[in-house]
Amino acid sequence: MKRILVANPKGGSGKSTLATNLAGYFARCGHRVMLGDTDRQQSARDWLGLRSRLLPPIATWEIADGRPARPPAGTSHAVLDTPAGLHGKNLERVLKAVDRVIVPVQPSLFDILATKSFLEKLLEEKVVRKHHTFVAVVGMRVDARTRAAAELERFLAQYELPVLAYLRDTQRYVQAAAHGMTLFDLTPSRIAQDLEQWQPIIAWADAD
């Protein structure tokens, strides 16, 4: 099973947007995908409740009395969304259960400062240092041509982590999410620019 964690302790960094759309991509490809939410608010489960049965299916945790939550049988791809403030033992535990970590970052000073501490802790984790878990970054709500993007790139350069893409600030994500949809559920002609931005993320996620 391919297991991808979307994590950043800063609230509002774009974790759920990235996680739901990544799950939507895998579902559109015909994979048996699960979107798991490690947040007590279970916002991913709420979003899935809005999703039409006519769309490619995305499952969530199987929860039974007296048993830990687990992916449904036959799941090939799992995308895990995480709460704000993920750190310490909780971070260590969830890192052992995934293959890849993708960190969304917005280009504001506060987001950069919050992410700095998280990245330093993340890169100290044993599974990351031994390359058992691979880490990459995505710039959220940013135009790659702007000074803000350049500042974000300079900040991330010190960690030698791949910056996969910069996703623009567009209401398409908000509008799709309101109906339990992702970019990959919309017609390609409507989202050509966004699909182009997603190509490096898709290549990274699909790589063995």
Domains held by the chain: number: 1
CATH number at residue 122: 3.40.50.300
Residue range of the domain that includes 185: 2-206
Alpha-carbon distance of 64 to 34, in angstroms, equals: 16
From 203, 8, 180, 198, select the one nearest 91 (Cα to Cα). 8
Return the pLDDT at 102.
Answer: 94
Return the pLDDT at 67.
Answer: 57
Alpha-carbon distance of 14 to 12, in angstroms, equals: 6
Q: Is the distance from CB of 41 to CB of 35 less than 8 angstroms?
A: no
- How much is the pTM? 0.91
Q: Which helix (H) or strand (E) holds 101?
A: strand 100-105
Q: Which position has the token pair 């687990």?
A: 70
- Chunked in runs of 10, what are the mean pLDDT values of the chain (208 residues)? 90 91 97 84 80 95 68 92 76 84 89 86 80 83 84 84 90 94 94 94 91
